[in-house]
Chain A
């Protein structure tokens, strides 16, 4: 077996990506806070405020409630570990490190697993506020994922029809993209699916309408109410990584173009990664910052209604439009 090619390089690549994405996603949080502050005519914190926050939380005393069990301490670590593992399957301007046939399921699974660990950690604290937050998180999760799953499977199936070597792999977006199909029907379908993915992204990173599980006014920070110190820092970092990863998926599906041009090898990957990060920031600005600044949250029942009756329906229509030429 080729040890260098199959073990050492992927691990080095994963570590490198982890370092880069941690910095980039925390930096984005700083930018986001600054931009939202400006929209509200405030000065806002400095750009690297999230780094200060992270370091401060890391250095604070960590308090574990005496009703908590071992999962309270394990869940933040497991959530972060899952997010790091997910980086190996995330398209970031180039084919993911561990891309293989069918890895889209691994991607969806790991993304859901992060939320699951957060829920388990929250329940394990023994606090009733956290339990309410966890129940809300689970409800939102069950409502938002089907729309995304339907859409992504439809898109991957449709792109697979154009001829790819690894069907249902996250690398597929850099071989063909959704706009290439070119017929008016698929174009309309793609626009509708873009809407679906934007709402999904907003609910995944819990901004605007969907800032429900941690609703600080009603249930005192919900999920995270009992977390402090190091564990809170890990969870905040996980949240930032998850926002970057979820936005990466949307960017890879709808805006996969690179600017590397004639470059090859590592330099092309680095250029593509930087350009991809720029696209992620722009998308997060539209879906995250603006959406957060201009709307408040919905009630949990309204959010569930919205996700099923509006977003899932749109996903169904978009997928059908996209699939139309092939099935007819």
Chain B
């Protein structure tokens, strides 16, 4: 299949789905739900085909409006979309988790009102994330980032009859808007200095004439995107947004939004635009410092939580620390074997954590849905009445700790190994983070498998539409865990190679010019 032909459908399908939702909604509840599932399912099909195409044929460039981005001039004048293997992995991850979250919503959101808006927003959220992953234009990136952010503000505050939904939504929106404006300011500075918004052409201009403005813009990008990724010390919105949001949304928030809007964008800007124009070592160490703080703060705070979803939120912060650590080492040891392994570990862990955290969030949703409480002290002995759900939780928790036959092991191993080679102190910090993480999840397991209390005795495993996404994610975690090194060699290492090859990224757009 030709990647050029299918790439636009990645945007067309969700856009069409979201805009037609109010009309389809007139046909009733069933039609609305079927429409949401069809749209996200079709997006998943396109996303998988796109991933396969990029994996086979390398970088994919698509120009909006013409055959070539160059037009009459010898520089790009049109918006380009550029998907390399890293972007394709993100596309696959977003479409997969997005589809499962929508299927899950059918059962989970049954008791809420205003669901036409809910499904519209969730498809728009997916659309924004897909746009970020495929775009090769800096302003286009900002637009998609805002689409994603605004949809997620609205979804966090979706249950606007609860005080905590409104509180978390306001908090998220205020600080999130400031972070977005940092990014917009960075883009404005770069445009004023270099006069272009195409990422690859900007990379050329930057290499020819690195200026202070570019560095200021980079600082603004890092500040804004670290916020979006939930790194410490700007992680506080995440811990509030998670418990307040519906669980299908928190699965997408911590599985996808913080990675696409934070990690992916940061990686793309640092590797593909700034490439060799700034000192990779300095930037790498800046990221590493934030990574270490994030690792320790996130995991340590997870241990002391009594609210199940808050625990998962802090655990997401902690896992973002690992990904940032891999990214930082990948930058600081740029071009060496160590840097490559670290970056592969970061990308691999991004994908794995999306699956694991989506699984755990969906399970938390099931528990809340069945029992109406998130307080871990009241959930003792859940395994008695909800065996399938708790077993899936066991798998998810073991995977996130990094136990061998599951997928979290290989990705964390790559990060441990590279950080131990790069600097043993960083390796020790990573291990300490994992010790906290283990303590946090063992605490939850200890509760789930304990003596059942009265409240728990009335609970049951959920209906099929809520159970199947959980089963699919758990199976994916186990199956990916059986072939860790094959996946790493066949997908993740090539993705890093493509990412580090800035020249290929540039010449794919500029071509013969």
Instruction: Show the binding face of A for B, using Cβ within 8 Å.
Output: 67-71, 106, 109, 120, 123-124, 126-128, 131, 138
Which stretch of B20-28, B299-307, B381-389 is in the interface?
B381-389
A70 touches B387 (CB 8 A): yes
B451 touches A67 (CB 8 A): yes
Which stretch of B215-223, B280-288, B442-450, B504-512 is in the interface?
B442-450
Q: A128 CA to B383 CA in the complex, in Å? A: 16
A67 touches B383 (CB 8 A): no
Known contacts A67-B381, A70-B387: does B449 contact A124 (CB below 8 Å)? yes
B449 touches A69 (CB 8 A): yes
B233 at the interface (CB under 8 A from A): no
Chain B residues, CB < 8 A from A106? 404
A69 touches B404 (CB 8 A): no
A109 touches B450 (CB 8 A): no
Q: A223 CA to B172 CA in the complex, in Å? A: 46
B452 at the interface (CB under 8 A from A): yes
How many whole Å from B313's CB to the nearest CB in chain A?
Answer: 25
How many whole Å from B353's CB to the nearest CB in chain A?
Answer: 21
Q: Which of B390, B391, B404, B445 contacts A109 (CB 8 A)?
A: B404
- What are 26 A-B interface contacts by the 8 Å CB criterion? A67-B451, A67-B452, A68-B384, A69-B381, A69-B383, A69-B384, A69-B387, A69-B452, A70-B383, A70-B387, A71-B383, A71-B449, A106-B404, A109-B403, A120-B445, A120-B449, A123-B446, A123-B449, A124-B383, A126-B381, A126-B384, A126-B450, A128-B451, A131-B450, A131-B451, A138-B442
Chain A residues, CB < 8 A from B452? 67, 69, 126
Known contacts A67-B451, A69-B383, A126-B450; 16 further A-B pairs (Cβ under 8 A): A67-B381, A69-B387, A70-B387, A70-B391, A71-B383, A71-B449, A106-B404, A109-B404, A120-B449, A123-B446, A123-B449, A124-B449, A126-B381, A126-B384, A126-B452, A131-B451
Which 6 residue pairs across A and B have the least CB separation, nearest first?
A69-B383, A126-B451, A69-B384, A124-B449, A123-B449, A70-B387
Q: List B residues 365-398 near A (Cβ within 8 Å).
A: 381, 383-384, 387, 390-391
Q: A219 CA to B163 CA in the complex, in Å? A: 46
Q: A69 CA to B442 CA in the complex, in Å? A: 17
Residue in B403, B450, B451 with the greatest tally of chain A CB atoms within 10 Å = B451
How many whole Å from B162's CB to the nearest CB in chain A?
Answer: 32
Chain A residues, CB < 8 A from B446? 123
Chain B residues, CB < 8 A from A128? 451
Q: How many A-B residue pairs have CB under 8 A?
A: 37
Q: A124 CA to B450 CA in the complex, in Å? A: 6
How many whole Å from B408's CB to the nearest CB in chain A?
Answer: 14
Q: A308 CA to B107 CA in the complex, in Å? A: 51
Q: List B residues 241-279 near A (Cβ within 8 Å).
A: none
Q: A123 CA to B448 CA in the complex, in Å? A: 9
Chain B residues, CB < 8 A from A71? 383, 449
Residue in A67, A69, A131 with the greatest tally of chain B CB atoms within 10 Å = A69
Q: A106 CA to B390 CA in the complex, in Å? A: 26
Q: A67 CA to B449 CA in the complex, in Å? A: 10
Residue in B390, B442, B449, B452 with the greatest tally of chain A CB atoms within 10 Å = B449
Q: List B residues 446-502 near A (Cβ within 8 Å).
A: 446, 449-452
B384 touches A67 (CB 8 A): yes
B450 touches A123 (CB 8 A): yes
Chain B residues, CB < 8 A from A126? 381, 384, 450-452
How many whole Å from A19's CB to the nearest CB in chain B?
Answer: 25
Chain A residues, CB < 8 A from B449? 69, 71, 120, 123-124
Chain A residues, CB < 8 A from B451? 67, 126-128, 131
Q: A78 CA to B310 CA in the complex, in Å? A: 31
Chain B residues, CB < 8 A from A127? 451
Q: List B residues 394-443 near A (Cβ within 8 Å).
A: 403-404, 442
Who on chain B is nearest to A105 by CB?
B404
Chain A residues, CB < 8 A from B445? 120
Q: List B residues 103-142 near A (Cβ within 8 Å).
A: none
Chain B residues, CB < 8 A from A123? 446, 449-450
Q: A69 CA to B378 CA in the complex, in Å? A: 17
Q: A106 CA to B333 CA in the complex, in Å? A: 29
Q: A68 CA to B442 CA in the complex, in Å? A: 19
Residue in B381, B383, B445 with the greatest tally of chain A CB atoms within 10 Å = B383
Chain A residues, CB < 8 A from B404? 106, 109
Q: A264 CA to B82 CA in the complex, in Å? A: 62
Q: A322 CA to B445 CA in the complex, in Å? A: 40
Q: A131 CA to B449 CA in the complex, in Å? A: 10
Who on chain B is nearest to A66 by CB?
B384
How many whole Å from B477's CB to the nearest CB in chain A?
Answer: 18
Chain B residues, CB < 8 A from A138? 442
Who on chain A is nearest to B439 by CB?
A142
Chain B residues, CB < 8 A from A67? 381, 384, 451-452
Who on chain A is nearest to B447 by CB?
A123
How many whole Å from B442's CB to the nearest CB in chain A?
Answer: 8
Who on chain B is nearest to A122 by CB?
B449
Q: A131 CA to B452 CA in the complex, in Å? A: 13
Q: A36 CA to B269 CA in the complex, in Å? A: 71
Who on chain A is nearest to B387 by CB?
A70
Q: A156 CA to B64 CA in the complex, in Å? A: 59
Q: A138 CA to B446 CA in the complex, in Å? A: 11
Chain B residues, CB < 8 A from A69? 381, 383-384, 387, 390, 449, 452
How many whole Å from B187's CB to the nearest CB in chain A?
Answer: 46
How many whole Å from B390's CB to the nearest CB in chain A?
Answer: 8
How many whole Å from B158's CB to the nearest CB in chain A?
Answer: 34
Chain B residues, CB < 8 A from A70? 383, 387, 391
Chain A residues, CB < 8 A from B442? 138
Q: A81 CA to B231 CA in the complex, in Å? A: 41
Q: A124 CA to B394 CA in the complex, in Å? A: 13
How many whole Å from A141's CB to the nearest CB in chain B?
Answer: 11
Q: A21 CA to B481 CA in the complex, in Å? A: 30
Q: A138 CA to B387 CA in the complex, in Å? A: 24
Q: List B residues 54-70 near A (Cβ within 8 Å).
A: none
Who on chain A is nearest to B383 by CB?
A69
Who on chain A is nearest to B452 by CB?
A67
Q: A106 CA to B450 CA in the complex, in Å? A: 28
Q: A127 CA to B391 CA in the complex, in Å? A: 20
How many whole Å from A59's CB to the nearest CB in chain B?
Answer: 28
Q: A123 CA to B403 CA in the complex, in Å? A: 20
Who on chain B is nearest to A121 by CB?
B449
Who on chain A is nearest to B382 by CB?
A69
Who on chain A is nearest to B391 by CB?
A70
Who on chain A is nearest to B403 by CB?
A109
Residue in A106, A126, A127, A131 with the greatest tally of chain B CB atoms within 10 Å = A126
How many whole Å from B367's CB to the nearest CB in chain A?
Answer: 15
Who on chain B is nearest to A116 by CB?
B442
How many whole Å from B447's CB to the nearest CB in chain A?
Answer: 9
Q: A109 CA to B438 CA in the complex, in Å? A: 14
Chain A residues, CB < 8 A from B390? 69
How many whole Å from B414's CB to the nearest CB in chain A?
Answer: 14
How many whole Å from A134's CB to the nearest CB in chain B?
Answer: 8
Q: A131 CA to B380 CA in the complex, in Å? A: 13
Chain B residues, CB < 8 A from A131? 450-451
Who on chain B is nearest to A74 by CB?
B391
Chain B residues, CB < 8 A from A124? 383, 449
How many whole Å from B472's CB to the nearest CB in chain A?
Answer: 21
Chain A residues, CB < 8 A from B381? 67, 69, 126
Q: A323 CA to B452 CA in the complex, in Å? A: 51
